[in-house]
Amino acid sequence: MNSESLRKEYNKNLIKITNYYSELAQNLKIFKGYQYLKEKERNVGLNTIQKKIVNDELKGFELGGIGLPKNKRESFKLIKSNLSKLSSQFEENILDSINEFSLYTESKIEVEGVPEEVLNKARMLAKENNKKGWLFTLDVPSYIPLMQYAKNRKLREDMYRAYATKASELSNKKLDNGPCINEILLLKQKLASLLSYENYAEMSLVTKMANSSNEVIKFLNKLAKKAKPHAKKDMKDLNEIAKKFKIDNIEAWDIAYLSEIIKEKKFNFSDLEIKNYFPKPKVLNGLFKLVNKIYGVKILKKNADVWHKDVEFYEIYDNNNQSIGHFYLDLYARKNKRGGAWMDDARARFKFDDMHSTPIAFLTCNFSGPSRGKPAYFTHDEVITLFHEFGHGLHHLLTEIDNYSVSGIKNVEWDAVELPSQFMENFCWEWSVIRDMTEHVDTKKTMPKSLFNKMIAAKNFQSGMQTLRQVEFALFDILLHSSKYDPKSKNFLDLLEKVRNDIAVVRPPKWNRFPHSFSHIFAGGYAAGYYSYKWAEVLSADVYSLFEEKGVFSRTIGKKFRREVLARGGSRSALKSFVAFRGRKPKIDALLIHSGLNS
């Protein structure tokens, strides 16, 4: 929820909280306490987890500016405070820009091809605004299907232009995130310089698995090299189909539409057909059943105070019926709600003397809600997103660590934190999982195996283009925060164009302002870390390959994964947890096979 009154209070308290943590990171008394514990004679009495906590905390103090002279410590805190304000402003500009835009039409010809369900919601929205016809917004459930199915090229172009220029000088100068980006980059460089790092990427990677930005760049370029031939083939297919629609030059707003046509022609099904099989109750039931099968845990819905009527609350029990955690589930898009999907912790597990608590997680998505008395129906991509966020939730909820600072998702290296989430996505391609969570909107029948087989055949459809897209974003991010970019130049758009020159086969128009809504790195925790998605995908594919070897529902392997990865949280390095599970260091082979990029 991001109403005007809540936003005002949020921003007022954001500064207090930021200052509190900045002061905590520079508290000499606590710092000296950890130094005392680090000394040899005291260190002997600590267990392995406690030793890691001490080392992590000391590293955190160093990155918080504890070693700086007093005047520079104050500068450091001021920069942190300003970065918090700018990140909040960045997110608000995006939300306000989305809320500001709507596209209205009464022409049936203009909306030809758009799914009836999307039109129904657009009609309801128009009615709420005292209009006839249809009203479309930039919310994902409205935008994506329109780009996929609208036959009217001008309509797609108008929607794309609004989406691609949101929060920029091309949509509303008052909501332009360009100045925010420049200021954020300058301040992050100043932070790094104060701590004697060459750049922000070098500072950021201190707490990650990757050792240097060069290692990250090398990893991403290797992936790009594998993906590019496949991406060129994908683009060739698009050009061929475009000719049939008398499109001489494919534009960015044609990609999703033409891709859907190719997909329907090649595999004989559409995303819309698939969506008719995934009602929310069946999907949740199938997800909970899977988790019970692999990990032996049970999930039950409970009553609780919530912030919106659509939010639900669940309790998770171990196989001995002991409550081990709770989570809130907030699935649907709505006005004034932040876009995207994410998991966050509301409370961590810990025990200290006679105090103890169980973990609580937030699981948030932006799917289409229920309509006309029917439950919400999800696309397969939305099912994958739900499984992804639930994987993060399980990482937090199934922890067995009682030390607060390394319990659940806390202090897990950023480039490994996506392992449990991406691991869960694999089950969305298993017939016995899919079968149990499907029921057709009209016939109430389970999805036929023949349709599922078509989905499997299309699994790696355009995986070359999709991989390059992720690599493009990740390279832009790591270069932006490394010595290869001077934040004083303010030419981040030029840097993105250079990356595209090397990587992309799909070139958006020059007026595309993707960075202006790149919340992951400018308003989230992924600065110099967006590569984590691909890095962790190597880990997750390798983990899942053992399930494939031993049986995808193997309780034995499930227990081992829970014990060695999920339960461990940040109590040891992610690499040690991976090796404890897999018996060796990670290999990229499984990812290439799963993505169809091994040839």
Q: Domain tally for the chain?
A: 4
Rounded Cα–Cα distance for residues 145 and 156 (Å): 10
One domain, residues 113 and 137 = yes
pLDDT in the model for residue 187? 97
Does 170 fall in a domain?
no
How far CA 359 is from CA of 86, 329, 416, 516, 597, in Å, comes to 30, 15, 20, 35, 39
One domain, residues 410 and 290 = yes
Q: Which of 47, 74, 95 is the last residue of a domain?
A: 95
373 burial type by CB count under 10 A (0-12 exposed, 13-18 middle, 19+ buried): exposed
Does 557 fall in a domain?
no
Does 368 fall in a domain?
yes
In DSSP terms, 377 is beta-bridged to 279
Does 561 fall in a domain?
no
One domain, residues 129 and 208 = no
Residues 6+ apart with CB under 8 A from 238: 250, 254, 255, 258, 259, 262
Does 484 fall in a domain?
yes
One domain, residues 356 and 453 = yes
pLDDT in the model for residue 570? 97
Mean pLDDT by 10 residues, the chain (599 residues): 89 95 96 93 88 96 96 97 97 96 96 94 94 95 95 97 98 97 97 97 96 96 96 95 92 96 94 95 97 97 96 96 97 91 96 95 96 91 98 98 96 96 97 96 96 96 96 98 90 96 94 97 96 96 96 96 97 97 96 89
Per the structure, the complete domain to which residue 89 belongs is given by 4-95
**Residues with catalytic roles:** 389
pLDDT in the model for residue 326? 98
One domain, residues 336 and 438 = yes
| Dihedral sign for Cα atoms in the order 23, 91, 186, 192 | positive
Q: Which of 41, 71, 95 is the last residue of a domain?
A: 95
pLDDT in the model for residue 1? 83
One domain, residues 254 and 316 = no
Rounded Cα–Cα distance for residues 54 and 42 (Å): 11
CATH code for position 419: 1.10.1370.40
One domain, residues 215 and 362 = no
Does 195 fall in a domain?
no
pLDDT in tens, 506-535: 999 999 999 999 999 999 999 999 999 999
Does 578 fall in a domain?
no
One domain, residues 241 and 208 = yes
Does 421 fall in a domain?
yes
One domain, residues 372 and 481 = no
One domain, residues 297 and 434 = yes
Q: What is the signed CA dihedral for 403, 404, 405, 407, rounded to 10 degrees?
A: 80
The letter for the amino acid at 262 is: I
One domain, residues 34 and 11 = yes
pLDDT in tens, 140-170: 999 999 999 999 999 999 999 999 999 999 9
